[in-house]
């Protein structure tokens, strides 16, 4: 019954932060929550496969992504303290209260064992993220917040229509409340055409969270105004929530006649995501938007990997984990970059290596990692995806993917090199803020993990990924 205490304690902590409005108390409570959330992951590992409260199961995919969240929660909270410290007591408290709520809702979504419970937690993340996006209280932040709430709510409603559609198929009023395991037992009786419609609703709806085509725009806009630590979560662990929702439905339908249909849809969505990411990255002038399009590219690769099957299943989950560590590091660094260069604009950026060598090294190492250049662990994941395409005979998909990735590599590499070594195009001369030596440590640690996983993957990681994909067709 440890899970109920986690939810109760999280609610109490979130409310207390708002009520007390005291910086020291907020620091203590939020730090305690970060440790408690990390402890939840340990608890889930120790009780792998068990069900609690009837609505939550500690299964392999949920625990894997929950663990990835636990790895980055402490640096996220740490960098959040730094970013929010410039605001008043009210903004400081609301920020951390919403952060506690967001992480709690994501944790619940990871281990939810039914679509209705999953939907509730995913919709709850929308409200928590909205409060965080609006943290700076600017006109642009307000516009991005309303866009995020409206589009995400619309998307999640579409996703739930897919679930309700299954209920109409079976003629059962309780279909929407069934667990994934119970739905698997009756899914074979459904008309394939209805299953196709349901899958499309789910894919389009949850792509608002996964950041996948066709509902990718909402996350791109949010990154422009959200605090960097919030962008780190939106672009990694929150995208993982959307992926997991789609992946669970994909797994549920994989034993039916629409298996090949789902694969083709995922590959198409992945290719279109790569195309959009490559096109917009070539003209990106805002650094955080550029990283957001990089996340779109990585989610496109994940969709293609799942659609390809075989080794692609393992590669997709490995890529999800490694992308979480890499992209969160780059967004943490964006917070430091903005304090040194006083901008997120490409044309106003430059000479970062001279102004802040430690941050510049983070960008260079992060560039190597996110572009899957050895010794990045993402190289192994993407190599497995390409090998899966060859084995599956997906030559056209392979060629198109490689061409589009070349544009992505060119776009990111030239921009990162300009930031580090070129003069600002507008001849700006920023007076850099002094950055603590401890701030980039978390980024080096996370990127170091990504490099280590290129050469050695712990057996526990291999086992939990293999358990996750064991139910899928070979």
* Arithmetic mean of pLDDT, 65-90: 91
pLDDT at 174: 56
Between CA 414 and CA 440 the distance in angstroms is 23
Write the pLDDT tens digit of every residue in 337-355. Answer: 999 998 888 888 888 999 9
Q: Which residue has the tokens 């965080």?
A: 132
In contact, 142 and 251? CB cutoff 8 Å: no
Buried b (16+ CB within 10 A) or exposed e, 210-227: bbbbebbbbbbbbbbbbb
More confident residue, 70 or 143: 70
Dihedral-angle region of residue 310 (phi above 0 means left; psi in -120 to 50 means alpha; beta otherwise): left
CA distances from 50 to 43, 46, 55, 112, 457 (A): 11, 9, 11, 12, 25
DSSP 8-state symbol, 86: T
Report the range of poorest mean pLDDT among 86-90, 283-287, 402-406, 444-448: 86-90
3-state secondary structure of 181: helix
Secondary structure (3-state) at 52: strand
Alpha carbon separation from 221 to 212, 243, 347, 434, 469 (Å, rounded) = 14, 19, 19, 29, 33
Q: List, in sequence order, the alpha helices (H) in 47-179.
A: 60-84, 89-111, 115-133, 139-170
Prior bond of 347 cis (ω within 30°)? no
Q: In the structure encoding, which two tokens stand for residue 252, read together?
A: 């549920």
What digits encode the pLDDT tens for the residues 398-441? 999 999 999 999 999 999 999 999 888 776 656 777 888 889 99
Distance between CA atoms of residues 58 and 260, nearest Å: 29
Q: Is 423 left (phi over 0), alpha (psi -120 to 50) or beta?
A: beta
Question: Of 353, 333, 338, nearest to 422 (Cα)?
Answer: 353
Mean residue pLDDT across the chain? 89
Q: What is the rounded distance in angstroms from the CA atom of residue 338 to the CA atom of residue 289?
A: 14
**Torsion over CA: 467, 216, 37, 438 (sign):** positive
Residue 167 is predicted with a pLDDT of 62
Q: Is the peptide bond before 375 cis (omega within 30 degrees of 0)?
A: yes
Alpha-carbon distance 117 to 122, whole Å?
Answer: 9
Q: Is the peptide bond before 63 cis (omega within 30 degrees of 0)?
A: no
Question: If pLDDT is split at 50, 70 and 90, which confidence band does 208 have?
Answer: confident
- Confidence band of 465 (pLDDT split at 50, 70, 90): very high
210-244: per-residue pLDDT in tens? 888 877 777 787 877 889 999 999 899 999 999 99
What does the pLDDT read at residue 166?
67
Tokens at residue 335, please?
């917070």
- Rounded Cα distance between 364 and 361, Å, is 5
Binning the chain into helix, strand and coil, the percentages to the nearest 5 are: 80, 0, 20
User: 10 Å Cβ neighbour count for 60?
Assistant: 19
> What percentage of the chain exceeds 70 in pLDDT?
95
Phi, psi angles (nearest 5°) of residue 172: -120, 125
Instruction: Compute the average pLDDT of residues 150-155.
Output: 85
The more confident residue out of 151 and 412 is 412
pLDDT at position 425 is 77
> Whole-angstrom Cα distance, residue 19 to residue 90?
10
């Amino acid at each position: 019954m440890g899970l109920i205490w986690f939810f109760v304690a999280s609610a109490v902590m979130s409310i207390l932060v708002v009520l007390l409005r005291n910086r020291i108390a907020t620091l203590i409570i939020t730090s305690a929550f970060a440790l408690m959330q990390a402890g939840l992951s340990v608890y889930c590992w120790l009780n792998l496969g068990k069900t609690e409260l009837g609505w939550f199961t500690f299964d392999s995919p949920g625990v894997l992504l929950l663990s990835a969240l636990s790895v980055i929660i402490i640096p996220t909270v740490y960098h959040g303290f730094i970013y929010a410290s410039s605001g008043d007591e009210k903004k400081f408290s609301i920020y951390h209260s919403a952060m506690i709520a967001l992480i709690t809702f994501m944790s619940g979504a990871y281990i939810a064992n039914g679509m209705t419970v999953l939907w509730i937690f995913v919709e709850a993340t929308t409200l928590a993220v909205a409060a965080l996006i609006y943290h700076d209280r600017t006109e642009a932040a307000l516009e991005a917040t309303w866009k995020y709430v409206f589009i995400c709510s619309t998307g999640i409603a579409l996703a739930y229509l897919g679930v309700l559609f299954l209920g109409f198929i079976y003629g059962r009023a309780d279909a929407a409340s069934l667990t994934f395991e119970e739905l698997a037992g009756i899914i074979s009786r459904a008309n394939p055409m209805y299953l196709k419609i349901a899958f499309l609703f789910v894919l389009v709806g949850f792509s608002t969270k996964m950041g996948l085509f066709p509902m990718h725009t909402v996350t791109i806009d949010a990154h422009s105004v959200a605090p960097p630590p919030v962008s780190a979560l939106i672009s990694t662990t929150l995208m993982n929530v959307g992926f997991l929702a789609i992946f669970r439905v994909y797994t549920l339908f994989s034993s039916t006649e629409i298996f090949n249909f789902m694969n083709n849809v995922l590959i198409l969505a992945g290719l279109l995501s790569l195309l959009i990411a490559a096109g917009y990255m070539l003209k990106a002038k805002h650094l955080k938007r550029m990283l957001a399009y990089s996340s779109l590219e990585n989610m496109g690769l994940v969709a293609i990997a799942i659609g390809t099957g075989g080794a692609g299943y393992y590669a997709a989950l490995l890529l999800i984990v490694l992308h979480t560590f890499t992209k969160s590091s780059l967004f943490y660094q964006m917070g430091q970059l903005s304090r040194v260069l006083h901008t997120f604009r490409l044309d106003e950026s430059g000479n970062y290596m001279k102004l802040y060598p430690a941050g510049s090294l983070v960008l260079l190492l992060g560039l190597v990692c996110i572009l899957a250049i050895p010794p990045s662990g993402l190289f192994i994941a993407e190599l497995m995806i390409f090998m899966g395409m060859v084995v599956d005979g997906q030559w056209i998909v392979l060629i198109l993917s490689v061409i589009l990735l070349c544009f992505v590599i060119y776009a990111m590499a030239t921009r990162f090199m300009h930031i580090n070594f070129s003069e600002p195009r507008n001849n700006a001369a920023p007076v850099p803020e002094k950055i603590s030596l401890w701030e980039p440590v978390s980024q080096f640690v996370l990127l170091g993990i990504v490099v280590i996983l290129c050469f050695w993957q712990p057996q526990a990681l291999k086992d939990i990924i293999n358990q996750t994909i064991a139910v899928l067709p070979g």
